[in-house]
Structure 1
Amino acid sequence: MTPSVTPRPVTVAAVHAAPVWLDADATADKAVALIAEAAAAGAQAVVFPESFMPGFPAWASLAPPIRTHDFFRAFAAASVRVDGPQVARIRQAARRHRVLVSLGISESTEVSVGCLWNSNLLIGPDGALLNHHRKLVPTYWEKLVWAPGDGAGLRVSQTEFGRVGMLICGENTNPLARYALMAQGEELHFASFPAIWPTRPPGETHAYDIEEAIRVRCAAHAFEAKCFVVVASNVLDEAAMRHLATLGPEAERVVAGTPRAVSLVIGPDGRQIGQSQREEGILLATIDLRDCVEPKQFHDVVGYYQRPDVFQLQVNRTALQAAGFGDARPRQAPPDPDWQDVA
């Protein structure tokens, strides 16, 4: 990977928005419109929240799994394939508007009707898929919905805007995952989050405040990596809240009283740049990756402030499969005069 110093400022857009709840096609339409809006405002990179398509499965925190089968079936049906038509439309929009796009999806697979991953895609301004990352470990009650990912997406992508890495929600608190990106020269980091993340009923001691957690973990990564961090979080709209409320009055109370997430941009000194985005909309910030250089004079944790003779990290970036099959083609039936091979 060649050295990267961006000779000009870059405008990034954090999309703080609600998906069209459990409707992947309509959410793809909304994402295309948001990309166009951000590009028209001057954005060169557009960052979407975690599991933006088709929404975030917060019901797993609100009721026992024996009561959420219908929710899971609907979520699995609305989840998308990386090579599917919804993602293709986002890739076309990225190419049309010449912008870098980071997109959170719930990913399905042809090898299982019930296996899903919490994934993030990085799409280049030419529409090419630059990186496909599956969240390494679903966090807490997310394990009831998503399978663990692999290390194939722990990559920093060289773009015309600099070296870009991305992690999903709680991964931004994983020291080894973060260091794996730092050690690839990450300059611009995309962090995606849900709208809410309930851990206790509202008002109880130690209830989780997602906005506070975002600020702590993302400022820590920016400060340690000496990079810029763009945070994009979901919004929980009325349609999603109505759907979650069908789990009962207690679920409705938890949703109403749980702190909401925030979208923001943090500089390589760990300080926030500009305002926070709490209402649905697009947050724009102009940054200069040359500002990543000076702080590394003071404290470069992958350069002179590292001791590779003492500490070593090995990262397995193998893309894992459910099974490996040795045969190149399936066994074929005898030729049929009415059958035509169109493969």
Structure 2
Amino acid sequence: MSSPVKVAAVHAAPVFLDRAATTAKAVSIIREAAKAGAQLIAFPETYIPAFPVWAALWAPIDNHDLFVRMAEQSVAANGPEIAAIRNEARTLGVTVSIGISESSPVSVGLIWNSNIIIGPDGNVLNHHRKLVPTFYEKLVWAAGDGEGLRVVDTPVGRVGNLICGENTNPLARYTLMAQAEQVHISSWPPMWPTRRPKGGGNFNNVAANRIRASAHSFEAKAFGIVTAGYMDKALRDFLIERDSTVADVIDAPPRAVSFFVDPTGETLGDTLQDEEGIAYAEFDLRRCIEPKQFHDVVGYYNRFDVFDLTVNRKRLMPATFVDAPTEIGAIAMGERLQTSPDIQPAN
């Protein structure tokens, strides 16, 4: 009989637009969570270096400097920041899921909203780029691809991740369900302003996230980790110093919540909203089995003769280069042709 696993949802603010300092903070948090016994530690959406809430507050023509800073502070998937996280995961023997704003090797202005899952051996298990940036995020990030729509084996079960609004995409969610997902990580920003206070009816991101997390866990019969960002005083002060009129806009929406969901859609474990910290819960993966008797949407409770889903997991590239052979390369090829016992030169 399997024993429960302990997991952690990080409810913390980055050091705003400072990738080095935020990476150092992430390492400190990983150490704290591991010391508390967490085997899987999940960070919020684009924890390194920040979530670009400014795109909701001001017109694009007013945000050029912030886009430049965001691009400059974004991190490469194979860069030193991720290397530091990988090293810490290996040292402590824990699995880490972390959101990043990812830089591109082909363009200084191309960045993605990405998530990386790192195993306890320090290896990258999955690298996912958000399929479609949501709403005002389109002003910052490029669209991703399906390469990262994968569920990975870890010591705490089969883990999948979707970023923010992707958790509203039924086909993306089903793609993970169809890979025997047992633990679903959904990562979120610290707030989601959609209207000025006088306009009324701001999107209730807390209620929406509870619905989405519970719906996915209920359908997948999987545990859910909801890890959301946190707006600290430094971020609030920065935004208000830039434009004092946004105080009501950023204070009116509910603060994001980090929490956990069981395979029936019920919450369990810790909940964090108004203070920074680490939330913990214990998951008994055997509880994923019994609910499958009622509804197994990737098993008996489906009609594969009626429905058919094809997922393209090819990593998108901006160009395919076919280089002409250089003179040295041509000479080397000629030498190989002449010396290979299996290939004879043409007459």
With normalisation by structure 2, the TM-score equals 0.92
Contact 2:94–2:120, Cα closer than 8 Å, also in 1? yes
Secondary structure of the 1:164 match is: strand
Please tell me whether the aligned partners of residues 12 and 286 of structure 1 are also in contact (alpha carbons under 8 angstroms): yes
Please list the CA deviations of residues 117-161 of structure 1 after superposition, one character each: whole Å capped at 9, or x if unmatched.
000000000000000000000000000000000000000101222
**TM-fit CA distance, 1:327:** 2.3
Are the equivalent residues in 1 in contact too, given 2:270–2:280 (CA < 8 A)? no
- 1:242 Cα offset (Å): 1.9
Deviation at 1:330, TM superposition (A): 7.8
Would you say how many aligned residue pairs link Structure 1 and Structure 2?
328
Q: In structure 2, which of residues 275, 288, 301 is the aligned counterpart of residue 305 of structure 1?
A: 301
Are the aligned partners of 2:221 and 2:264 in contact in 1 as well (CA < 8 Å)?
Answer: yes
CA distance in 2, matches of 1:146, 1:225: 29
CA contact (8 A) 2:39 2:95 kept: yes
Give the drift of 1:182.
0.3
1:186 paired with 2:181, answer yes
Contact 1:192 1:231 in 2 (8 A): yes
**Root-mean-square deviation (Å):** 1.6
- CA shift, 1:231, in A, is 0.7
Quote the residue 1:270 is aligned against. 265
Distance in 2 between the 1:329 and 1:120 partners?
Answer: 38
Q: 2-side partners of 1:330 and 1:51: how far apart?
A: 43
- For structure 2, the residue ranges without an aligned partner over 5 or more in a row are 329-347
Give 2:316's aligned residue. 320
**One-letter amino acid of the counterpart of residue 304, structure 2:** P
Instruction: Indicate conservation of the 8 Å contact 2:7/2:282, yes or no.
Output: yes
> 1:73 aligns to what?
68
Residues 270, 281 of structure 2: 8 Å contact kept: no
Letter in 2 for 1:325: F
In the alignment, is residue 143 of structure 1 matched against residue 128 of structure 2? no
CA deviation map 1:220-270 (0-9, x unaligned): 000010000001111111111122224423222211222110000000000
Higher Cα radius of gyration: 2
TM-aligned CA distance change 1:292 to 1:67, over 3 Å:
same
Pairing partner for 1:292 from 288, 295, 308: 288
Alpha-carbon distance between aligned partners in 1 of 2:12 and 2:4, rounded to the nearest angstrom = 25
Alpha-carbon contact 1:201-1:254 (below 8 Å) kept:
yes
2:111 partner amino acid? L
Q: Which moved more, 1:30-39 or 1:323-332?
A: 323-332
Given that 1:16 and 1:49 are in contact with CA atoms closer than 8 Å, whether structure 2 keeps it comes out as yes
Equivalent residue of 1:15, what SS? strand
- Structure 1 CA distance, aligned partners of 2:159 and 2:313? 17
Does the aligned pair in 1 maintain the 2:13–2:276 contact within 8 Å? yes
Unmatched runs of 5 consecutive residues or more in structure 1: 1-5, 333-343
Residue correspondence of structure 1 range 192-231 to structure 2 within 5 A: 192-202=187-197, 204-231=199-226
1:331 deviation in Å?
8.3
Q: Secondary structure at the match of 1:114?
A: coil
Residue 34 of structure 1, CA deviation: 0.4
Q: Which residue of 2 aligns with 1:108?
A: 103
SS for the counterpart of 1:290 is helix
Give the partner amino acid of 1:174: N
Identity %: 56
Cα–Cα, structure 1 residues 130 and 202, in superposed 2: closer, same or farther, change >3 Å? same
Question: Residue 203 and residue 94 in structure 1: after superposition, are their counterparts in 2 closer, same or farther (change >3 A)?
Answer: farther
